Structure 1
Amino acid sequence: MQAHPIRILRIMGILDGLSLLVLLCISMPLKYIWDHPQFVTINGALHGGIFILYCLAILYVQIRIQWRGHWTFLSFLAAFIPLGNFALDRQLKKMEHTTTTQPFQKIWIVYGIIFFSFFDLFVQLPVMSTYALSLGASTFVVGIVVGLYSFTNTFGNIFSGIFTDKIGAYKMLMLGLLLSVASLFSYQFIEDPTMLLIVRSLHGFSSGFITPAAFALLANLRREDTQGSGSAFTGAFVGLAAIIGPATGGILATKMSVPNVLSIVGGIGALLLIALLFLQRTKQQRSQNVMKERVPLIWSKKLVQSYVGAFFLMFSQGSLAYLLPIYVQELGYTSRMSGTLLSMFGIVAVIIFITPLNRIFDYLSASTSLFIGIVLLGVSQILLGEATTTIPLYGVLSLYGIGFSFTFPAINKLLAEATEKEIRGKAYGYFYAFFSIGTVAGSFVLGSLDLINQPGFLFTGVSLLAFSIVVFFLRERKG
């Protein structure tokens, strides 16, 4: 008899709670009082492995039980609180007897692919600029290296958008995963900055096939009155990638080479590629293959706001990717610190995305949400240049996460409201092209102007606030 998903979660939760208590109550005193650091090393590695299995158990419950998102968040949060897992277990025991296992919905594979696509991006953030420097690249070339992925990603997005509507999302997802996995493994052959530029170009272009196809498919499956909260839920997977990706990249880069880190990411992509083989095309996908080929894309005010909002969101992200690792390093911290800082904004965003708070995006107009989000992003960038110690840095990145959580659903909702199903592949292709161009602009402009540290953050923040003024006058009030 198959074990109930919540029973599996309870077992992993108890093991995670026990390993945390041993780490805090035994291993850490042995290190800091009796000078035996090896116990923290061993126990820390064991606890880290159990925590990963615990997170996978949470994901398994979410898929098979389909409980409300706040339970996923509470389960995740409990792992960071001493005795939290044990307190949660009492409630989980009751739920185990009142919930039933649901059939596996293949749409979760699509969510997994979205997570992978952004995980691939976020893993690179804390390590790519310093990796390029280690190969002998100049500051100017480092800016190009960071931005080149997104520059070529632009052309991949447009290509995917056009052909998603013609051949279907399934084929584009297959092709994108296959080529992305191959490019991730190709980092093993890099020996100098020139080779790095070539691989970054191929990596960015192939990865651009994935997101337009995946987001167009999901948008077409959602009801029109849930586009806001639905986009927020999808954004949770982007947020999870933002939490796990930078921390993973920063931590693993202290243990192994950057090419090996990216090969691990490639292995995850290969597993999803195998899973995608079992994803049968839906009637919606088949209908895309026989639709009329020439459906006009009308550039309405909402669509323009969506595209320009995507540009400035990723302009901010690109600036952050370029500036933060260098800034943190100059403050005397390691790449581990920059990774966990970048994860902080994702944690805050996911809290808003998966809890009932996401319903605010169904009630607020998309333009108003966009205005709020861009203002918070701009203010966060300016404040980041003023923060020099740990607590202020984490506080500002938390504020940045709130801005991200308002901006991402808003631009997706604007696009959904401005387009019909028949052209959403093309619309999302251009949408993510603006995403990519924004990232390029963020790192390339700052690198070209040689703006780092406080001047770079100030420049980015002022640019975002200037755009927010435009959004304010273009916004449409709900109802």
Structure 2
Amino acid sequence: MPRALWLLIVGMAVNMTGSSFLWPLNTIYIHDHLGKSLSVAGVVLMCNSAATVIGNLLGGSFYDKIGGYKTVLIGIGTTLAALICLSIWNSWPEYIIFLVGIGLGTGIIFPPMYAMAGSVWKEGGRKAFNAMYVAANLGVAIGSALGGFVADYSFQYIFIANTFMYFIFLCLAVFGYRGISVVNNIKMTEAHPAEVKQNQKNLRALLILCIGYLLGWAAYVQWSTTIAAYIQELHISLKQYGLLWTINGAMIVFGQPVVKVFIKYFAKSLKTQMLIGMVVFIGSFLAAAYAHSFKGFVVGMIILTIGEMFVWPAVPTVAFQLAPKGREGFYQGFVNSTATGGRMLGPLAGGMLVDTYGMPILFIVMIGLFIISFLTTFIYDHNLKEKKLPLKHKKSQIC
């Protein structure tokens, strides 16, 4: 892998380590420490995610206009400023304001990071995006594991630790990303009508795929929101809950060889890979629905992790391959905003379902969302010409 990609990988790991001190515990903090209902917690997290959606779109647009380096610095600076304030003022309603600022800043960061990764190693195909995905989840494993232990002492230390990690990320970006140059400010010339038509088809295909992507994330995020609070009601400690996400991250990092072999022989296209992942996601919610102890949720988390290893890296890969020249940032911003949209709607919908009907109905509805996601993934490329589909893995692209 190119040196520039390694720098992006390290930065993503540091970024997610910092974020993972806080995001898995947001619902618990709002519900248990600030004394608000799950529905209110859902509204707060929806505001955070709405800001992230705006940040995703801004980050993608900024990347196409001013480049990745400046865009990443804008995102980190915004996040760091909000975290410093949150470390000082973390009561109600200040918590909402600064959480929105964090969402905006982190939203700006992701599109340029992924777009730069794809641009600096185009010949790597899926490898560049999978490497970023693995790095992100390594950060999740480290941050969530440490976060659970730190939160047992004081949530104040969670805010401080998050701030410290983003300061490290800022230093890495300032001194490491300046030299990363990618061709992104391409002046669009008048395209051939056939090319315009194909680009329109590609965009429609991405829109259909992202409907399922949004619904999938809306269901997935229940593990860090409503299911997190449900686990507390079963008297499972914060340390054990943090370990669930440690298992998630560790499996993603160390399970890559197994995933590589499986994809090579059983899921040679990105579409097949995603469809398998959607089915596995359904299995994870079935396991959680019948879990009444920590071991049961461990099983559910293991199944959940297998599903996400097939789905989450594949969607930005498809987006990068479908994007016209000079629009890579916009496409990555759109994909990231879709995922964030799911994380925005998920906590609110999940909190309202649990408060009104209880956990059993939540599990049924979430399984239904994954069924819809399976269908949209199945049909998204129906109108694309086969010769234009960048969906088949070459052997060198399998990671």
Q: Does 2:327 match 1:429?
A: no
Separation of aligned partners in 2, 1:475 and 1:360: 23
Residue by residue, what CA displacement relative to the aligned partner does 1:433-475 show, whole Å, maximum 9, x if unpaired? 1011000111011123325533323321221123213323446
Deviation at residue 161 of structure 1 after TM alignment: 0.7
Greater RCO, CA 8 A, separation 6+: 2
Separation of aligned partners in 2, 1:191 and 1:122: 17
2:150 aligned partner: 252
2:58 aligned partner: 159
1:149 aligned partner: 48
Change beyond 3 A, Cα 1:424–1:309: farther
Residue by residue, what CA displacement relative to the aligned partner does 1:315-360 show, whole Å, maximum 9, x if unpaired? 133221112221111111111111111222222222233x374365
Separation of aligned partners in 1, 2:37 and 2:245: 24
Deviation at residue 174 of structure 1 after TM alignment: 0.9
> Which amino acid letter does the alignment assign opposite residue 91 of structure 2?
D
2:26 aligned partner: 128
Separation of aligned partners in 2, 1:299 and 1:175: 33
1:278 aligned partner: 175
Deviation at residue 291 of structure 1 after TM alignment: 3.8
Contact 1:177/1:210 (8 A) holds in 2: yes
Contact 2:147/2:242 (8 A) holds in 1: yes
Contact 1:386/1:454 (8 A) holds in 2: no
Which of 215, 221, 227 is 1:312 aligned to?
215
Contact 1:229/1:359 (8 A) holds in 2: no
1:184 aligned partner: 83
Query: Residues 275-424 of structure 1 correspond to what in structure 2 (within 5 A)?
Result: 275-279=172-176, 281-282=178-179, 284-285=181-182, 287-289=183-185, 291-292=187-188, 298=200, 300=202, 301-353=204-256, 355=257, 357-358=259-260, 361=263, 364-424=268-328
Change beyond 3 A, Cα 1:278–1:121: closer
Give TM-score, length-normalised by structure 1.
0.71
Query: Residues 54-133 of structure 1 correspond to what in structure 2 (within 5 A)?
Result: 105-133=3-31
> Which amino acid letter does the alignment assign opposite residue 327 of structure 1?
Y
1:231 aligned partner: 129
Which of 244, 259, 264 is 2:161 aligned to?
264
Deviation at residue 302 of structure 1 after TM alignment: 4.0
- Any stretches of 5+ residues in structure 2 without a counterpart? 383-390, 394-399
Identity %: 20
SS at match of 1:420: coil
Contact 1:311/1:438 (8 A) holds in 2: yes
Q: Does 2:362 match 1:456?
A: yes
Separation of aligned partners in 1, 2:90 and 2:189: 44
> Which amino acid letter does the alignment assign opposite residue 53 of structure 2?
T
Q: Which moved more, 1:155-164 or 1:307-316?
A: 307-316
Change beyond 3 A, Cα 1:293–1:384: farther
SS at match of 1:229: helix
RMSD, aligned α-carbons: 2.7
Separation of aligned partners in 2, 1:349 and 1:120: 18
Contact 2:59/2:111 (8 A) holds in 1: yes
SS at match of 1:137: coil
Give TM-score, length-normalised by structure 2.
0.85
SS at match of 2:175: coil
Residue by residue, what CA displacement relative to the aligned partner does 1:63-111 show, whole Å, maximum 9, x if unpaired? xxx8xxxxxxxxxxxxxxxxxxxxxxxxxxxxxxxxxxxxx93433321
Contact 2:186/2:326 (8 A) holds in 1: no
Deviation at residue 228 of structure 1 after TM alignment: 2.4
1:447 aligned partner: 351
Contact 1:306/1:431 (8 A) holds in 2: no
Change beyond 3 A, Cα 1:313–1:284: farther
- Any stretches of 5+ residues in structure 1 without a counterpart? 1-65, 67-103
Contact 1:166/1:293 (8 A) holds in 2: no
Change beyond 3 A, Cα 1:212–1:408: same
Separation of aligned partners in 2, 1:283 and 1:136: 46
Q: Which moved more, 1:275-284 or 1:343-352?
A: 275-284
Contact 2:219/2:369 (8 A) holds in 1: no
Deviation at residue 208 of structure 1 after TM alignment: 0.8
Separation of aligned partners in 2, 1:379 and 1:236: 22
Contact 1:161/1:428 (8 A) holds in 2: yes
Q: Does 2:112 match 1:208?
A: no
SS at match of 2:3: coil
